[in-house]
Structure 1
Amino acid sequence: MELLVLLVLLGAAASPGGGSGPGPHSLHYFYTGVSEPGPGLPEFSGAGYVDGQLVITYSSETQRAQPGTAWMERNVGPEQWERDTWNLRVAQSVFREDLDILRGRYNQSGGFHTYQLKYGCELQGDSSTGGFYQYAYDGRDFVSLDKDRETWVAADDGAQVTKRKWDADRSDAQRYRIYLERECIKWLGKYLEYGKETLQRTEPPRVQVSDRPSRDGLTTLSCRVHGFYPRNVAVVWLKKGVAVPQETNCGDVVPSGDGTYQTRATIEIDPSRETDYTCSVEHPSLAADLRVPWGPKSNVMLIVGVVIGVLVLVAAVTGAVVFLRKKNSGYKAAAAHEGSAGSGSNQGSDTCVKA
């Protein structure tokens, strides 16, 4: 049996629509099949994300398509969940069969193997769209769709067999292109409307710049960007106002756990040669890029800090000396009072003790 092509149009029988705010926005699906399932590792799993937020999930263990967010549960009816469940069960069967085919294709008698599919679409801020459709086997690229040419691209010799078979019927590639450019974008708009309170909000980024010694007299500057939504952000270090992306090391954009995202960008510099560095951040919530300069610790400020510290110390010592003098004077006055009171009186002694 030949390797099958599967396009699961989640909810395709409905009539999607709805608007969306300024982009970019995305609708992405991920399917994974494994040859040797185990506890916590199902034979097949599927998930859909809108702007990085889980909206649909499926597992061969549950055998049901389920909402990933409260707003999906509120807005999507039982008929669509039934359709999605049926489609994903078909995908599970296809992935099981394809894994057997690929093991034979690559002369593998057994062992643990994975077969994955990711596909989806994007809507940019200027209303332009994009889409992709990619397969992977054992974590490596297998075949992908060249949407504009309506053909498949093979990543290795084993994938060439699949490419030739799928290219033999160009109607399949055309169908995928139409889905990515039309149906997927329509569903993205509908989901954005469902979850507009969270998906179409914006949270501006907060930026913190710090430094630490690294090696050989160099310094590593760090720009931490956090608390922003949506996920897309651009961070780069500027040297004398000019971006130096080749020298900027960008970390991954990861969830903060509170519905926002965070990331970090670092750069290694020689502070003895140049100190004019600024972290620049671009985000949809900002009308212009946010720039936070790095300021090296000034020797003048260090001197001021030392002087202030010395003055505080002197004041403390002076205060202690004055206190002791007053205390000693009090004791002498009490003793003199005791002597003048006479041996038969306890008044002076009581006053000293009470004091």
Structure 2
Amino acid sequence: MRYGKDTGRAEPQVEWMEQNEGPQYWERETQNLQGWQAAYRANLANLRQRYNQSQTEPQVLVSDRPTPDGLTRLSCRAHGFYPRDIAVVWLRNGAAMSGETQSWGIVPSGDGTYQTRVTIEIDPSSDAQYQCCVEHESLAQDLRVAWGRWG
């Protein structure tokens, strides 16, 4: 049998089923399949809501902390973004610092979005300007978050 999506009815696919099963059988199967169809629609709507499949922009947090050897570790955390692909780099005076950074990978956040973190170690006495630069398809342009020194 098959369930005709246009008719909303269970229909025989082979002649012997049509000849051997009566109208009560086809009505019962139709009701069962209509129930399954409604359940599938509800489950699909629930999944779409739970795992938001639209693009979500990354939230970016820049932080710092001292290291035991007198340097400062800058951390750039991007989270809450979808889809997964993202580029996060540190800029020193506007130039990308690729070899000096440590990337912690892109991992699921548990809510259908992703997160990642990139760190660098800098000399805190340097007067260079540092920015975290994030590229993601949900953003119209690169997102740059500057690191500022406090107190």
TM-score tier after normalising by the smaller chain length: 0.5 to 0.7
Out of 118, 123, 126, the position equivalent to 1:273 is 126
Out of 111, 130, 136, the position equivalent to 1:258 is 111
Q: Report deviation, 1:271.
A: 1.3
Gaps of 5+ in 2: 1-38, 42-46
Q: Kindly provide the amino acid, as one letter, of the partner of residue 212 in structure 1.
A: R
Q: Report deviation, 1:274.
A: 3.3
Matched, 1:283 2:136: yes
Out of 209, 223, 229, the position equivalent to 2:82 is 229
Gaps of 5+ in 1: 1-72, 76-194, 299-355
Q: Report deviation, 1:208.
A: 0.5
Out of 197, 204, 213, the position equivalent to 2:57 is 204
Q: Report deviation, 1:297.
A: 1.3
Matched, 1:247 2:88: no
- Which structure shows the bigger proportion of residues in strand conformation? 2
Does the Cα contact within 8 Å between 1:220 and 1:269 map onto a contact in 2?
A: yes
Deviation digits for residues 76-121 of structure 1, max 9, x if unmatched?
A: xxxxxxxxxxxxxxxxxxxxxxxxxxxxxxxxxxxxxxxxxxxxxx
User: Which residue in 2 is equivalent to 1:296?
Assistant: 149
Deviation digits for residues 112-151 of structure 1, max 9, x if unmatched?
A: xxxxxxxxxxxxxxxxxxxxxxxxxxxxxxxxxxxxxxxx
Aligned equivalents of 1:208, 1:200: Cα separation in 2: 23
Residues 245 and 210 of structure 1: CA distance in aligned 2, closer, same or farther (over 3 Å)? same
Aligned equivalents of 1:74, 1:270: Cα separation in 2: 57
RMSD over aligned CA atoms reads: 2.1
- Which structure shows the bigger proportion of residues in helix conformation? 1
Please give the secondary structure, in 2, of the residue aligned with 1:223: strand
Does the Cα contact within 8 Å between 2:59 and 2:79 map onto a contact in 1?
A: yes
Mapping of residues 106-145 of structure 1, within 5 Å: none
Aligned equivalents of 2:145, 2:129: Cα separation in 1: 11
Deviation digits for residues 260-290 of structure 1, max 9, x if unmatched?
A: 1111000000010234100000101001110
Does the Cα contact within 8 Å between 1:203 and 1:229 map onto a contact in 2?
A: yes
Greater relative CO (CA pairs within 8 A, separation 6+): 2
Does the Cα contact within 8 Å between 1:199 and 1:230 map onto a contact in 2?
A: no
Q: Report deviation, 1:212.
A: 0.4
Please give the secondary structure, in 1, of the residue aligned with 2:150: coil
Please give the secondary structure, in 2, of the residue aligned with 1:251: strand
Please give the secondary structure, in 2, of the residue aligned with 1:284: coil
Q: Which has the larger radius of gyration?
A: 1
Does the Cα contact within 8 Å between 1:275 and 1:295 map onto a contact in 2?
A: no
Aligned equivalents of 1:215, 1:237: Cα separation in 2: 22
> How many percent identity over aligned positions?
59
